[in-house]
Amino acid sequence: MSLPPVAKKEPLVRSHHGDAVVDEYEWLRDKESPDTIAYLEAENAYAEEQTAHLAELRQTIFDEIKDRTEETDLSVPSRHGDWWYYARTLEGKQYGLRCRCPIDDKDDWTPPDLDAHSEIPGEQILLDSNVEAEGHEFFSLGAFTISVDGNWLAFSTDTRGDERYTIRFRDLRTGDILDDEITGASHGATWSLTGSHVFYTTVDEAWRPNQIWRHAIGSADDDVLVYEETDERFFAGVGSTQSDKYLVIGLSSKITSEVHVLDAADPEGAFRVVLPRTDGVEYTLEHAVIAGEDVFLIIHNDKAPNFELISVPVEDPTDRTIVISGSEDTRLDDIDVFARQILVSFRRDALARVGIIRLTDDGLGPLTEIDFGEELFTSGVGGNAEWDQPLVRLGYGSFVTPGTVYDYVVETGELIVRKQAVVLGDFNADDYEQHRSWATAPDGTLVPISIVCKKGTPRDGTAPALIYGYGSYEASMDPGFGIARLSLLDRGFVYAVAHVRGGGEMGRHWYDDGKMLNKRNTFTDFIACAEHLVAEGWTSTQRLIAEGGSAGGLLMGAVANLAPGAFQGIVANVPFVDALNSILDPALPLTVIEWDEWGNPLSDADVYAYMKSYSPYENVAAHDYPAILAITSLNDTRVLYVEPAKWVAKLRATMTGDTQVLLKTEMNAGHGGVSGRYASWHERAWELAWIIDTSTSG
């Protein structure tokens, strides 16, 4: 076996608040340097050499994922206008197809039972991503938006992984692609009511979506700048209400938001502000018709930390009527509004739930929670394209229940199973069990853990285990089903998700207690969860692997420094491990908006000192570390490749012991890693093989 690559040292001094720091690996930030590329390629070659003995296991796991997956499949059709819309996958094809077929009986809301292996009468293939991806090593579909009349498609593609999209337009009556082409766009595209115009977003030099533009279909005129957000803390986005009556510009920082609206039938009109931004107040809105009156339904957190739902007249948003009051134990997340019902998404006890409010001639009925009957689950709303429909589409799943699509009949409360994801082979949900457990953090806070394993897995500390964590941006890690995970569970693994502070599982306070100057709670919560699994006999420190990505990669780097003996191995995917250095540089992508999440170490000496105390790169020390697998992508614009590259270089130069440290860089991908489902399965098989091998090396 060859020795690991050794990165050269080029000392660079960084000084802030009287603190001078020598950074020996900052030279790796130069993406165009041949030395940088040579180092990354050397690390890739070393990682392949070090894991060559896992090639057979990787192929076996890939085959398991593939053999359990229904490769030729169809989604449950969703009704919109005169068509049923659905997605297809075909065996052997990396990417999906978007299709539609005509509605036979407009009075029948039962989706057609389509056979994925048979010809579908009247089927139109609206977009074949395999065709669009030809000739490109990376492909991502961004916008896929049908005009209200069903005649036009706006779609956007990214072939580098840098999240800069090209928008194109297809006339669905002829199949022709228009000459119109918009380059350098951000995610999404929104049609005006008549289909005459499309609104889209572009980004500034820091990759912040900051401008909203209007494009006239088929026109040679220059696109019109509709809105520009000059506050660097705010992102801009554009969409429409479920009713299609209003176009909506949403402006948001991490803690503040503002919404502008425009009648969608008047695309060249002027947007107006609904409620002016107030620092620390967040809100979103939807349009509803209640007792014959047009209103905006607004979810906000003004004096309601877990948010409340109010109704306001469209012309007077200061005249508030409370629909759902704020609660200490329930976090309101979102609403989906229809002509005859409102679906409310909310969180309680670290679970994503859905409730429904019926609209009557007199106004609003009570909120009724939909009961799915499992201890651990995740549920949500999706696939509802019509404003006036007698049933609503819901999604559901758990650690042991494959993704399930329901239609909820509003009139009767009946839940109709439209489809459950097929798991081929000998999978039987009854062979597995899931549990909720609670770890005690150092400050006494109880931290929820979601656990799944195969029935009969021993509780004597001998089982290998994988514990996953994130803990930032109020993002919740819900207990959903995963086919690839079965390759761990069937080998005797315990899989656990630590719902640490900084996430959103337990409400807004859970998020606040894991951000800014409370960020260390995220790390100590995760360590407490790992220790709890060991204390309860689920696993041992010699068999426990930790995994996290992006901001969860920061968590991985932090716990590697704080409690290296708690884990046998750590997988850090696109990890935010040079956090202090990145947040100090407002010229880097997305830095300024991040100050509301982490604090501003550039202007605040206390924030600087606090971040320096936990930032993984700053705190690499001369002690033994668990085995580490760091994975990144060269074209990632959210967490730059340089962060894990510097981290690995410093680990190798500083740590004691001889545990394995690997860096694997995708040279043609972005933040989400490789594209294409087969490529993604190969990538996950690569990671799982390393996890399995490392868990047995203790």
**Catalytic center residues:** 550, 636, 671
Question: Quick check: 330 and 347 in contact, CB under 8 A?
Answer: yes
Tokens 């306001």 label which residue? Answer: 312
Could you tell me if 140 and 158 are in contact, meaning their C-beta atoms sit under 8 angstroms apart?
yes
- For residue 621, what are its two tokens? 């020390």
Environment class of 568 (CB within 10 Å of its CB; exposed 0-12, middle 13-18, buried 19+): buried
| Residues whose CB falls within 8 Å of the CB of residue 220, separated by 6 or more in sequence, listed in order | none
Distance CA 614, CA 629 (A): 20
CA 179, 185, 187, 191 dihedral sign is: negative
Query: What is the number of other CB atoms lying within 10 angstroms of the CB of residue 170?
Result: 17
Rounded Cα–Cα distance for residues 208 and 588 (Å): 10
Residue 99's nearest CA partner among 84, 79, 121, 114 is 84
Map residue 62 onto helix, strand or coil.
helix
Nearest Cα to 178, choosing from 195, 161, 194? 195
State phi, psi for 592 to the nearest 5 degrees: -60, -45
CA atoms within a 13 Å half-sphere pointing along the CA-CB vector of 22:
4
- Cβ–Cβ < 8 Å for 186, 236: no
* Alpha-carbon span 30 to 150, nearest angstrom: 47
Contact 306, 286 (CB under 8 A): no
DSSP readout, 552-594?
A: HHHHHHHHHHH-GGG-SEEEEES---SHHHHHT-TTSTTHHHH
E strand spans, 375-493: 378-381, 391-397, 404-409, 415-420, 432-440, 446-454, 465-469
Q: What are phi and psi of 383, to 5 degrees?
A: 80, 25
Sheet arrangement for strand 308-313:
283-290, 293-300, 308-313, 321-324
**Residue 503 · residue 472 · CB < 8 Å:** yes
Interatomic CA distance for residues 202 and 184, integer angstroms: 7
Q: Decide if 153 contacts 200 (C-beta within 8 A).
A: no
Distance CA 661, CA 37 (A): 19
Q: 661-666 and 627-633: which strand pairing?
A: parallel
